[in-house]
């Protein structure tokens, strides 16, 4: 194409030069003038053509240089990205190595704890056997043999690590979406039969084995919460901790070290103890609860039997949840001429009880919910969470239970806190039709 263009331009220049030469010759310039005009015209045309061609070539060269510069800039950018990615990979490898070392230390810690627990179990069982040998007439032979057999079963279940973790959902109201799980422990005998607490506690409590069961349950909670967190599943677990575990001088320091390694789980692991145990805690237990709170872990009270609570004490102890059985809570309601009240707090409108607890950073969980009718009353009291067989029974840890944690979990909706109303406020029963539509 370029050759054709050059030939066409040359022919055009020649034609123009001939036209100029002919014009000069016809106007009396003679052959000499015509030839000179022809030669001069051709030279001028080719000179102009050379300048134009050189200008076009320089322009094309500048474009190529710009393209080369752009390619170099892109290449440098990609090299920087590759270098940054390699740095990230190196940092990740370093972090994985650090986590592997921490995990190895944790495994050694768990092994040491389990070994110590096993030694203590053996000592207690031996002491129990010696006591039975020295006092054979304290109970009938059949009952003694049954207790001894059951004690052996419990000891073997603990030694063989046959302690299962059961989870029951705790839902947000009124949406009923799973927000937390409540954990329970179950023992299995050698045949795989699940032993209910009422069955083994009769022999575990006198022999001091309840603390060992609680401790193993604590390990289960830490393990399962860490597994859920590793898979980026946002779910919290209420895990029972006994006063005996808090006061155990050999167990608690090592357990505290374990939690210090896993303090990133503090938002998902909530330690729970009964109201009576909380009220009866001593200085050692309170101090150890404070150590857990310093790591960011929260607490919950269950088995509530008295609603006249020192909420400032709960706030100081980092108690963030209060579990109240739905039947007990609804039995506390009393209708008066001035509105609905709680018998334990007659000067406070019943629907303001949840607002009062929230002012101290405590949320109420209505547990043991069994019917839809209870839900209507619970919603009238502005309670944020519910738990019970109506929402799901306790189930052993299985893949199906873990898969449920994949459901999106909404953060608790902040509650407004209107001024507390006294007994002169509007009763809850007058607004039941509104609560029914919220279910």
pLDDT at 290: 95
For the chain, residues with pLDDT lower than 50 are 103, 107, 136-139, 399-439
The Cα–Cα gap between 99 and 80 comes to 28
Q: Which helix (H) or strand (E) holds 134?
A: helix 30-134
pLDDT at 242: 85
- Look at residues 273, 393, 378 and name the one whose alpha carbon lies nearest to residue 321: 273
pLDDT at 423: 40
pLDDT at 84: 78
- Look at residues 248, 300, 257 and name the one whose alpha carbon lies nearest to residue 277: 300
Residue pLDDT, tens place only, 127-177:
655 555 555 444 456 556 666 777 778 778 777 777 777 889 999 999 999
CA 50 to chain centroid, in Å, comes to 75
Given phi > 0 = left and psi -120 to 50 = alpha, else beta, which region is 28? left
Q: DSSP string spanning 86-110?
A: HHHHHHHHHHHHHHHHHHHHHHHHH
Residue with tokens 């474009």: 63
- Look at residues 263, 244, 187, 193 and name the one whose alpha carbon lies nearest to residue 220: 187
The Cα–Cα gap between 83 and 325 comes to 59
Angle at 220 between CA 214 and CA 224, to 5 degrees: 150
Residue pLDDT, tens place only, 371-412:
999 999 999 999 999 999 999 999 887 544 444 444 444 344
């Amino acid at each position: 194409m370029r050759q054709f263009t050059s030939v066409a331009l040359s022919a055009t220049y020649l034609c123009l030069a001939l036209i100029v030469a002919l014009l000069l010759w016809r106007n009396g310039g003679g052959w000499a003038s015509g030839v000179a005009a022809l030669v001069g015209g051709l030279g001028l045309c080719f000179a102009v053509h050379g300048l134009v061609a050189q200008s076009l070539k320089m322009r094309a060269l500048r474009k190529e240089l710009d393209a080369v510069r752009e390619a170099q800039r892109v290449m440098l950018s990609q090299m920087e990205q590759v270098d940054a990615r390699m740095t990230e990979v190196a940092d990740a490898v370093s972090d994985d190595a650090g986590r592997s070392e921490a995990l190895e230390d944790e495994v050694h810690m768990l092994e040491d704890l389990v070994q110590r627990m096993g030694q203590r179990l053996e000592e207690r069982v031996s002491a129990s056997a010696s006591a039975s040998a020295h006092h054979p007439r304290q109970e009938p032979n059949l009952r003694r043999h049954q207790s001894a057999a059951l004690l052996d079963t419990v000891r073997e279940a603990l030694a063989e690590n046959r302690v299962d973790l059961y989870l029951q959902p705790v839902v947000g109201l009124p949406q009923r979406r799973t927000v937390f799980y409540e954990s329970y422990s179950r023992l299995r005998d050698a045949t795989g039969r699940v032993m209910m607490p009422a069955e083994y506690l009769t022999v575990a409590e006198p022999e001091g084995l309840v603390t060992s069961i609680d401790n193993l349950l604590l390990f289960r909670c830490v393990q399962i919460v860490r597994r859920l967190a590793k898979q980026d599943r946002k779910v919290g677990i209420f895990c029972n901790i006994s006063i005996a575990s808090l006061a155990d001088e050999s167990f608690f320091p090592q357990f505290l070290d374990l939690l210090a390694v896993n303090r990133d789980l503090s938002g998902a692991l909530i330690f729970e103890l009964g109201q009576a145990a909380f009220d009866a805690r001593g200085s050692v237990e309170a101090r150890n609860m404070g150590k857990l709170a310093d790591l960011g872990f929260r607490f919950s009270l269950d088995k509530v039997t008295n609603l006249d609570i020192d909420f400032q004490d709960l706030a100081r102890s980092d108690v963030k949840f209060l579990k109240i059985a739905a039947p007990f809570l609804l039995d506390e309601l009393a209708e008066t001429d001035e509105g609905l009240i709680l018998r334990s707090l007659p000067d406070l409108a019943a629907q303001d009880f949840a607002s009062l607890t929230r002012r101290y950073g405590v949320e109420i969980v209505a547990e043991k919910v069994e019917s839809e009718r209870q839900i209507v009353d619970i919603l009238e009291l502005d309670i944020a969470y519910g738990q019970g067989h109506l929402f799901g029974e306790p189930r052993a840890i299985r893949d199906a239970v873990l898969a449920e944690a994949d459901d999106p979990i909404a953060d608790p909706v902040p509650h407004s806190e209107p001024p507390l109303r006294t007994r002169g406020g509007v009763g809850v029963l007058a607004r039941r039709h509104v609560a029914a539509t919220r279910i």
